[in-house]
Structure 1
Amino acid sequence: MEIAVLIIFSLLMLAVFLYSLSLLHLLINFRKSRRQKNTSQKWHFSDPSQIPFVTIQLPLYNDKPVVERLLRNIARIDYPLDKLEVQVLDDSTDDSKALTAGIISELKADGFPIEHITRKNRIGFKAGALKAGLEIAKGEFIAIFDSDFLPQPDWLKKTIPHFKNEKLGVVQTRWGHLNENYSLLTRLQAFLLDYHFVLEQTGRSFGKHFINFNGTAGVWRKSCILEAGNWEGDTLTEDLDLSYRAQLKGWEFKYLEEVVTPAELPITIAAARSQQFRWNKGAAENFQKNFGKVLRDKNLTFATRVQGLFHLLNSSFFFVVLLMGIVSIPVLFLINDPAYSSVFEVMTIFVLSPLIFFITYYSAYKELHKSDRFSILKFMGLFLTFFSIAMGLSLHNSVAILEGHFGKKSEFIRTPKFNLSNNQKSFKKTGVKWNLQLILEMLLMLLFAFGIFSAFKIGAYSLLPFHLMMFFGFSYVVLTSLNVEIFSGKKSDLTGFENL
């Protein structure tokens, strides 16, 4: 039994180590990209004949708190109106539909080319709405913004010119954060997203590996969507699905790190859980749907296949971490056994994994905080807190991952939007949703408390940092799920958008 436990633990640590090496490869690409000059061809919009027709799609579903801010911001887009149309793809089932219709009527009366498009059902959810709008879209290029995104007026002029490259199918921009400093939860989400957009997207793009359209704040060439098979609603991350199908068809993707599109981060643990569930389950669904195609494509390099594997399995490492945490408890009692000393000596190589995570995350963080002399200290606090809470969400995310891999279908749940203004001090949500998952999270919290106690009891401390992080993470998740959620509002980062 002891040998079986050690083998399982070793294999789990090996999986994490290999994943960390894939991130190290992206870091190397990221560093190389900083030395590369931008030589891509672009249209010059000083020549009106080079300005193409663009359709902006705004998929909505019961987004009343943010719909007016969205529409009035889109109306500020600086682009020739005779070469622009805006489709408001409204699947709402609440009273927000009437509010949306009223604002659209007002904007149309002012000469802005905007249409309110509704459906009788939500077949295909967001993917279905985008597909329905595409059937009547006039634009050669399709820009997409979720309801909480606020592109700057010159956004189209910064993105569309890159499509002079006829092989280019997508331009994706970096997400910014309207409310990063609202709470610990929003700061941690910003920390994760900044890592993805600064290091992962840049590293994959430079290495010519598969990258993904992030569902919003990007532009598609219409012919690319159609050639790749159009939007499909059979996964919860239709953006990742279409991205892989398009790149398998040979289309190129371009990531513009310098173009930032600000958006709202979820401010409640329930909203963050919902978003994480959809993203993680959708990634697992896409692995099942698309990785076989990646593996069989003879035009892809070995490195691209490997990066595609880790990209599509990215979320599945929550399940690996959860299993590793559970198995680490019996491993704790074997550490001081002389019979297994040589095994643990070999395992010390896996200490490189957290070091690689630290280096790659800090590289992304430092890139955005170059002028902060205390960035390393702030980073260390965020890094430890983020990974602890990520571990605490491992059970929740593992459920999503397993459902995705085993083909269990579920509804597309949109992330709630709140649009808190600068003068709002708090958001309050009451009620506790008791379920089996919450009970299991409480038991896991107690399990890792036992691991911490046992470390001091038997004098084996090598797993103590890991157990402390697991205990803190599950404690955070349990307590925020049990208590009334009150977030003390700091100033939301809405600079430039307060009066919309």
Structure 2
Amino acid sequence: MPDILLYALLLLYLLGMLFIFIYSLAQGHLLFSFLKAKKNLGKTTPNKPSEWPQVTVQLPIFNELYVAERLIDAVAKLNYPSDKLEIQLLDDSTDRTAELILQSLKNYPDVNFKYIHRVDRKGFKAGALREGLNVVEGEFIAIFDADFVPDPDFLLKTIPYFSADDVGMVQTRWTHLNEGYSLLTKLQAFALDAHFLIEQMGRNQQGAFINFNGTGGIWRKSCILDAGNWHDDTLTEDLDLSYRAQKKGWKFVYRPEIESPAELPPIMSAIKSQQFRWTKGGAECAVKHAKSVLKQKNLPLQVKFHAMAHLFNSSIFIAVLIVSLSSIGVWFLGEKGLLSDQWLRFAAIFLIGFVLIALVYLLSYFYGKRSFFRSFAEAIFVLPLFLSVSMGMALHNAQAVWEGLTGKKSPFIRTPKFNLEGKKQSLKSNLYLSFKTPVTTWLEGVFALIFSFMVVLAFKEENYLFLPFHAMLAFGYSLVFYTSFKSYALGRS
């Protein structure tokens, strides 16, 4: 490999590491803000309103045979004055889900259910929410996806936080119905807990932009309308509306003590479907909002910094992919003796970033755990495994981010739901599994072989410069490839 190419790869490696380092500084600052917010958590509680307002609960549904009944049963148990509560079933289903819903509604003749079925899926979820908003009775709008099981006291707990007229949205913390189902669900919970504790609490504590998470939250109707209603030009309509509303001055409130239980995707093909939508939609929102946020004069520099880190956080996968591939060239530079010890000392600074990111995940993992020592022992196992799988997802997610940044459009693909803990079905009988194995899955298998070869080469040449990194990449890509291929094969069986 020519030396000029190796030095070009070194430059790419340094640029990628710089991006990761800057992102880690933002995460470290959020961690600091989280610790401050945690001290004040629960010290003040809002007063209940003298009169409970009219509320509409919107339930966007599309082909949810396995969870629709569970959702209806849960929202029917919401504790709220019956004359002030409306529940909209926004059903875009094209299968037997529509019949199942109508049959289930017969069990609750005294609950104010409104069934709205669209002939087409124009605008997908955003379009369904927008159409439902045209005929809502409530001045506050709670939203739950089909895989959620709302707390019966959700409305009683959240409505009091709208005592100030400028509060536009209250978001609650997702918890997990099936966290212990498999290794994949445990790793997802590990990642989501960091977002819902460190990131959401940290941003909210310092007055930075936070996001409605698409479900498990409640909006003031006038806020939605003032911000321009739901748009369907990105795959993350929730993040898009959140930024439009907060740019107009609306305040958001995040309450981690109010829990909204939900199902985690149990197989890799479903995880990838969800991850693709989240990462691509995040990149689309970055293109849509970054420039206007930077130009807004009334926003402090700190808020703008965290907004950029928030909007571009999915770009971390492009950086990880670049660093992973370019590290091979850097390894060969070291093998040829073209790397000085001074460069290695300089590069070690970037390791601070990985320490900060690790702390974010570790502290969120310890949150609420009863036994520190048991949790610490579990974390020693879970953290490197999570980081390995996250790096193994870099190729798949980097493709999604690149499409979002470059403006390539794709349809809203729902994440298949399973309700395995409810024993409604088995994995093999799920009708919504994807049948096609994408090219990226095969490339993940190739990457697993490449980084495994680099691990073998490190021992052969006694050059251990990237051994831990390449070993984690080899394991991460191998696990992602295996679980992906297995889940796609499951859909074909």
Q: TM-score range by the shorter chain?
A: over 0.9
Match of 2:56 in 1: 55
Distance 1:128 1:102 in 2: 25
- For residues 163 and 469 of structure 1, do their structure 2 counterparts lie closer, same or farther at Cα, with a shift above 3 Å needed? same
> Given the superposition, is the C-alpha separation of residues 41 and 410 from structure 1 closer, same or farther in structure 2, using an over 3 Å criterion?
same
Q: C-alpha deviations, 1:400-437, integer Å up to 9, x for none?
A: 11111111111101111111136689633799744422
Change (3 A) 1:268 1:383: same
Unaligned runs of 5+ residues in structure 2 are none
Q: Which residue of 2 aligns with 1:493?
A: none
- 1:419 and 1:248 map into 2 onto residues whose CA distance is 38
Q: How do 1:383-398 and structure 2 match up within 5 A?
A: 383-398=383-398
Equivalent residue for 1:475, pick from 457, 475, 478? 478
CA contact (8 A) 2:263 2:419 kept: yes
Change (3 A) 1:421 1:5: closer
Does 2:26 correspond to 1:22? yes
Shift of the alpha carbon at 1:486? Answer: 10
Which stretch of the first structure deviates more once superposed, 261-270 or 5-14?
A: 5-14
The reply to whether residue 460 of structure 1 matches residue 463 of structure 2 is yes
Cα deviation, residue 339, structure 1: 4.2
SS in 2 for 1:181: coil
- Are 2:138 and 1:139 aligned? yes
Corresponding residue SS for 1:428: helix
What do you get for the CA RMSD once the two structures are aligned?
Answer: 1.9
**CA apart distance, 1:440:** 1.6
Residue pairs, 1:193-272, within 5 angstroms: 193-272=192-271
| SS class of match (1:17) | helix
Whole-Å separation in 2 of the counterparts to 1:392 and 1:193: 17
Give yes or no for contact 2:86–2:113 (8 Å, CA) kept in 1. yes
8 Å CA contact 1:225–1:231 kept in 2: the answer is yes
Alpha-carbon distance in 1 for matches of 2:223, 2:393: 36
Q: Which residue of 2 aligns with 1:102?
A: 103
**TM-aligned CA distance change 1:423 to 1:69, over 3 Å:** closer
The runs of at least 4 aligned residues of structure 1 exceeding 4 Å deviation read 37-41, 336-339, 422-426, 429-432, 484-487
Pair 1:362-2:365 in alignment? no
Partners of 1:411 and 1:423 in 2: CA distance: 31
Cα separation, 1, equivalents of 2:282 and 2:207: 20
What is the CA-CA distance between 1:338 and the residue it aligns to? 4.8
Cα distance, 1:447 vs structure 2: 1.3
Structure 1 residues 3 and 267, CA gap change in structure 2 (3 angstroms): same
Q: Which amino acid aligns with 1:297?
A: Q
Report the Cα distance in structure 2 between the residues aligned to 1:366 and 1:218, rounded to whole angstroms: 25
Match of 1:234, SS state, is coil
Matches of 2:484 and 2:373, distance apart in 1: 36
1:151 equivalent to 2:150? Answer yes
| Mapping of residues 80-479 of structure 1, within 5 Å | 80-107=81-108, 109=109, 111-341=110-340, 342-421=342-421, 427-428=427-428, 433-479=436-482
Shift in alpha-carbon separation, 1:334–1:198, aligned structure 2, 3 A: same
Contact 2:12 2:322 in 1 (8 A): no
- 1:328 counterpart SS class: helix
Q: Give the number of aligned pairs.
A: 482
Cα separation, partners in 2 of 1:34 and 1:421, compared to 1, 3 Å:
closer
Which amino acid in the other structure matches residue 419 of structure 1? N
Deviation at 1:368, TM superposition (A): 2.6
Give the Å deviation of 1:75.
Answer: 0.6
One-letter code of the match for 1:14?
L
Describe the shift of the 1:155–1:396 C-alpha distance in structure 2 as closer, same or farther (beyond 3 A). Answer: same
| CA–CA distance in structure 2, aligned partners of residues 444 and 199 of structure 1 | 32
Equivalents in 1 of 2:352, 2:28: separation in Å?
11
Question: Contact 1:198/1:364 (CA < 8 Å) preserved in 2?
Answer: yes
SS at match of 1:257: strand
8 Å CA contact 2:10–2:329 kept in 1: the answer is no
- TM-score, length-scaled by structure 2: 0.94
Q: Give TM-score scaled by structure 1 length.
A: 0.93
Q: Distance in 1 between matches of 2:351 and 2:421?
A: 44
Q: Find the partner of 1:44 among 40, 44, 48.
A: 48
Instruction: Tell which deviates more after alignment, 302-311 or 335-344.
Output: 335-344
Question: In 1, are the aligned partners of 2:66 and 2:424 still within 8 Å (CA)?
Answer: no
Rounded to whole Å, the distance in 2 between the matches of 1:19 and 1:136 is 42
2:485 & 2:82 partners in 1: Cα distance? Answer: 51
User: 1:307-366 deviations in whole A, cap 9, x for unaligned?
Assistant: 111111111111110111000011112225554212222111111122111212111111
Q: Which runs of 5+ in 1 are unaligned?
A: 488-500
Letter matched to residue 358 of structure 1: A
Is the contact between residue 104 and residue 116 of structure 1 (CA under 8 Å) also seen in structure 2? no
Matches of 1:481 and 1:42, distance apart in 2: 46
Which is worse superposed, 234-243 or 419-428?
Answer: 419-428
Aligned-partner SS, 2:456: helix
1:209 CA drift (Å): 0.5
Contact 2:268 2:487 in 1 (8 A): no
Aligned to 2:69: 68
Contact 2:66–2:425 (Cα < 8 Å) also in 1: no
Among all aligned residue pairs of Structure 1 and Structure 2, give the percentage whose two residues are the same amino acid: 47
Match of 2:15? 11
The one-letter amino acid of 1:16's match is I
Aligned-partner Cα distance in 2 for 1:484–1:413: 17
Tell me how far apart the structure 2 counterparts of residues 151 and 318 of structure 1 sit (CA, whole Å). Answer: 32
CA distance in 2, matches of 1:150, 1:5: 49
- 1:117 and 1:202 map into 2 onto residues whose CA distance is 35
More deviation, 400-409/342-351: 342-351
